[in-house]
Amino acid sequence: MPAGENWGQRVAWRRATLAFLSAIPIGWVGALIGLGGAEFRLPVLVGALGFPSRRAVPLNLAVSFLTLGIAFFVRGRVLPWAHLIPLWPMLGTLLLGSLSMAFWGAGWLPRVRQRHLERAILILLAALGLLLITEAFLPLAPPGGGLPTGVIRYGIAFLAGLGIGLVSSLLGVAGGELIIPTLVILFGVEVKLAGSASVLIGLPTVAIGLARHLRRGLISSQEGLQVILPMGLGTFLGAGLAGPVLGRIAPAALKVLLGLILLFSAWRVFHPHQVQTATSGEV
């Protein structure tokens, strides 16, 4: 076997191993707080695995799709989907906005300059980190409240969906950290129902962005074997390991810790010095 080919296989094996191992703790903590962990995968894809942001976002979407697919079957057994039928008018409006922006955002991604994309990612990840910390001290509003019914309610649902779709297309995430607070605080949805609804909204939102990236050839079969599949398996394993300790760790303390980790990792990977280095040759 030629030396170059042997070296390439070692690099591929190391990348797949790192992708798998890094996804286990991400899946573990994500399961503990009810998230897919995509916010934490993105710094790993760019930092540890060395993908440019334009390549990392589609890869993150692919792993998010696998994670949501598993969550769809798991949550369907715990909480029947029929419980969401009364919410469909509002959820459908939210989903329409989310799908619209996810479709257009996926088309914008290849046109955005690398340094601009990195700065946008830094801002969005920092905002999600701060949101995690805030939720630890300010519990979500009790169910039964929310906005009044009518045109205003559906208009706000559509605008919220646009924001969720934008974040999904730029970060490659399902948007659960935004969907659940939106449903509970603005629309008075019970938090467990909101968790299931976030899967239903996130799955097609991620799927439409992922489909556009696949059509553009932004994900190769090699990346699927080296990154997407190992990360998906690692996330599934990590989520399974969370079961024995679920309920033993204070959610508030965990959210503060994860929020701080997200802030640090976002700055460490996407701060201006890194952006300047990565794009020094860009016109």
Q: What pLDDT is recorded for position 280?
A: 42
Contact between 143 and 191 under an 8 Å Cβ cutoff? The reply is yes
Q: What pLDDT is recorded for position 22?
A: 92
Contact between 96 and 237 under an 8 Å Cβ cutoff? The reply is no
How many folded domains does the chain comprise?
A: 1
The model scores a pTM over 0.85: no
Q: What pLDDT is recorded for position 275?
A: 46
Residue 206 placed within a domain: yes
End-to-end CA distance of the chain: 40
Q: What pLDDT is recorded for position 11?
A: 76
Q: What pLDDT is recorded for position 277?
A: 41
Q: What pLDDT is recorded for position 18?
A: 93
Residue 133 placed within a domain: yes
Q: What pLDDT is recorded for position 142?
A: 55
Q: Give me 70's structure tokens.
A: 């598993």
Q: What pLDDT is recorded for position 247?
A: 60
Residue 256 placed within a domain: yes
pLDDT digits (tens, 9 = 90+) for 143-170: 555 556 678 888 999 999 999 998 888 7
Residue 175 placed within a domain: yes
Residue 283 placed within a domain: no
Quote the CA–CA distance of 40 and 23 in Å, as a whole number.
9
Residue 90 placed within a domain: yes
Domain that holds residue 19: 3-278
Residue 57 placed within a domain: yes
Residue 231 placed within a domain: yes
Q: How far is CA 280 from the centre of its chain?
A: 28
Q: Which residues of the chain have pLDDT under 50?
A: 1, 273, 275-283
pLDDT digits (tens, 9 = 90+) for 49-73: 888 888 898 999 999 888 888 778 7
Q: What pLDDT is recorded for position 98?
A: 93
